[in-house]
Amino acid sequence: MITQRIGASTGLAPRHTVRLPFTIPAPAIIAMVGALITLVGSALSWVTIFRGTQTLTGWNGSPRYFAGLAVASAALTLLFLWAGRPVAFRRLAVLAGSTAVVGIAFARSTAVVGIAFAIWQVAALNSSDSVSARILTPVLGPGPLVMAAGAVLLLAVVAIPTSAARVPLPLWQRVILAGALFTAGWIHLALTPEHLGEATILGLGFLAAGFAQLALAVLITVRPSDLAYYAVVGLSAALTVLYAIAVLKGLPFGGGHDHGTGITIGAGEPIDVEGAVSKLAELFSLATAVVLVGRPNTQTAPISRPVESG
């Protein structure tokens, strides 16, 4: 247990102790470090081309979402400790971490295969020009290995014993709502760089929306209130309306970004996978928050139960 004595160094009275609501064992610290390493790896180079003049990081593709899974696994590890170590939350943390490990390994394998194919193409097209081949040949960066190493550390949570604690229904409801908010929030953060390139105001909007949704996910889990639920309703409704305008008519700024393929139903941008998933998560968040308004929250502090091995 980490404590701090107030007034101990100054001799002031009275003295009292500030305690964290739960202890943080070494395996949990390892998992937190693993999440941080995974984030660092996602920002490092995954592939460089043109003799290193163009770099693609994990935030240029699917690895950014596996980084989100790593953050989710770390958050679930803390939730597991805060809630008295119920086995259900440890399983969720392990599931998120394992999915991140598998996803990162698959993404790295795909990158290796893509590079091998590119090398073969370059060699075929430039068999008589070795200088040109060296310039065009892509090179795998350190990002995949760093992300994989960090993701493996997330699984250290399995070394923390569980307890006989059961998760009450109100907490499950809030955790599910927080999961939907986290999903939409991380998608907004993942898409921030490319939207900053399209328009500064658009990128900053994505950044603000992402952090707001992540903050609400934490707040609703540990300090639920009707005000927080109303905030979820308002934010989710506003973002859904903005997306509808972007799809049906287009926004009055931006327009320089290629949104790729998707379903076109208006004069604006097509509905792609990220957009569809984020809006479904927001609509689910809105509906769930409306249902939870006014309900008593019986789980606003950690459950204190005897710890068992397992």
Confidence at 8, pLDDT banded by 50, 70, 90: very low
pLDDT in tens, 164-194: 989 999 999 999 999 999 999 999 999 999 8
Tell me the domain boundaries of the chain: 21-165, 168-301
Read off the pLDDT of each residue in 250-275 and give the average, rounded to a whole number: 77
> What is the 3-class SS of the chain, one letter each residue?
CCEEEECCCCCCCCCEEEECCCCCCHHHHHHHHHHHHHHHHHHCEEEEECCCCEEEEHHHCCHHHHHHHHHHHHHHHHHHHHCCCEHHHHHHHHHHHHHHHHHHHHHHHHHHHHHHHHHHHHHHHCCCCHHHHHHHCCEECCHHHHHHHHHHHHHHHHHCCCECCCCCHHHHHHHHHHHHHHHHHHHHHHCHHHHHHHCHHHHHHHHHHHHHHHHHHHHHHHCCCHHHHHHHHHHHHHHHHHHHHHHHCCCCCCCCCCCCCCECCCCCCCECHHHHHHHHHHHHHHHHHHHHCCCCCCCCCCCCCCECCC
- Which pLDDT score, from 0 to 100, does residue 138 have? 76
Structure tokens belonging to residue 41: 């790896």
Higher pLDDT pick, 176 / 113:
176
> What's the burial of 218, exposed, middle or buried (CB within 10 Å: 0-12/13-18/19+)?
middle
Confidence at 118, pLDDT banded by 50, 70, 90: low
Cα–Cα distance for residue pair 51/196, rounded to 1 Å = 26
pLDDT of 10 strictly over 90: no
Confidence at 124, pLDDT banded by 50, 70, 90: low
- Which pLDDT score, from 0 to 100, does residue 174 have? 96
Q: How long is the chain?
A: 310
Confidence at 3, pLDDT banded by 50, 70, 90: very low
Q: Mean pLDDT for the chain?
A: 83
Confidence at 129, pLDDT banded by 50, 70, 90: low
Greatest mean pLDDT among 20-34, 113-127, 151-165: 151-165
Read off the pLDDT of each residue in 258-280 and give the average, rounded to a whole number: 84
pLDDT of 243 strictly over 50: yes
- Which pLDDT score, from 0 to 100, does residue 184 have? 97
Confidence at 241, pLDDT banded by 50, 70, 90: very high
Read off the pLDDT of each residue in 10-28 and give the average, rounded to a whole number: 65
- Which pLDDT score, from 0 to 100, does residue 273 have? 92
pLDDT of 29 strictly over 80: yes
Cα–Cα distance for residue pair 32/179, rounded to 1 Å = 19
Q: How many CB atoms lie within 10 A of CB 97?
A: 29
Q: pTM, whole model, 2 decimals?
A: 0.83
Read off the pLDDT of each residue in 266-286 and give the average, rounded to a whole number: 92
Cα–Cα distance for residue pair 152/268, rounded to 1 Å = 41
- Which pLDDT score, from 0 to 100, does residue 306 have? 44
Q: What percent of the chain has pLDDT over 70?
A: 76
- Which pLDDT score, from 0 to 100, does residue 140 have? 82
